[in-house]
Amino acid sequence: MKRLFILLLVLAVASAFAFEKGTKTVGGFIGYNSYKYNSDADAVNTIAINPVGGYFFMDNICADLEVEYTNTNSSDWDEPETHFGFGIGGRYFYNYIYGGAAFMMMSYSPANVDLSYSANYLKFRGGYLFNIAENIYVDLGAHYMMGFGEYGGDGEGDNEESELQIGGGIDIFFP
């Protein structure tokens, strides 16, 4: 039994698909959000757009730059709220499965209130790539963002926000 396990492990490692060092990637992720301003608030549902660019500095390890744009609206609000941010992070790929983390800085501009504020987040993500053409993949996954620190600008208090996003997108890899 032990030999069979070792043989399967060796075969899995040997057959692992690898994104090689020097590969570049561009893509995007469109997701559905369930968003909470703090732990006691009701969730607000939104759509978010996340363009991402990356560079593999080691085999299967990618450094990422990303942008996030979200327009949030609720039937209880007169005007929508716009969120814009950018971040840096990384992903690790094993075959077509990936996981990663990022540091995000976001700014907010509610349309019906004369204020703007900023906040910091940790973003964790995972997903699966489906190959649809040479070097082109459909990306299905999930992201979880959690706020930390205090709000900047006109914001007050601790950032206790959290967000769960499920969605998909397209990633293109340039070897």
pLDDT digit string (tens) for 98-133? Answer: 999 999 999 987 766 677 889 999 999 999 999 999
Alpha-carbon span 33 to 102, nearest angstrom: 17
Residue 65 falls within a domain, yes or no? yes
**C-alpha dihedral (160, 105, 122, 20), degrees to nearest 10:** 170
Distance, in Å, from the CA atom of 52 to the CA atom of 168, rounded to the nearest integer, reads 13
Model confidence, pTM: 0.80
39 belongs to a structural domain: yes
User: Residue 170 burial by CB count (10 A; 0-12/13-18/19+): exposed, middle or buried?
Assistant: middle
- 13 assigned to some structural domain: no
Q: For residue 2, is it within any domain? A: no
The confidence score (pLDDT) of residue 11 equals 43
For 134, list phi and psi in degrees, rounded to 5. Answer: -60, 120
Report how many domains make up the chain: 1
Dihedral in degrees, nearest 10, Cα atoms 51, 31, 49, 119? -100
Rounded-to-integer distance, Cα 159 and Cα 142, Å: 22
Q: Which domain holds residue 164?
A: 21-174
pLDDT for the residue numbered 12: 47
Please write the tens of the pLDDT for every residue from 64-93: 999 999 877 766 666 777 889 999 999 999
Low-confidence winner among 13-22, 29-38, 54-63 (lowest mean pLDDT): 13-22
Is residue 14 a part of any domain in this protein?
no
Q: What is the CATH number of the domain that holds 157?
A: 2.40.160.20
Any domain includes 49: yes
Cα 17 from Cα 130, distance rounded (Å): 13
Cα-flanking dihedrals φ and ψ of residue 37, to 5°? -70, -35
pLDDT of residue 15: 45
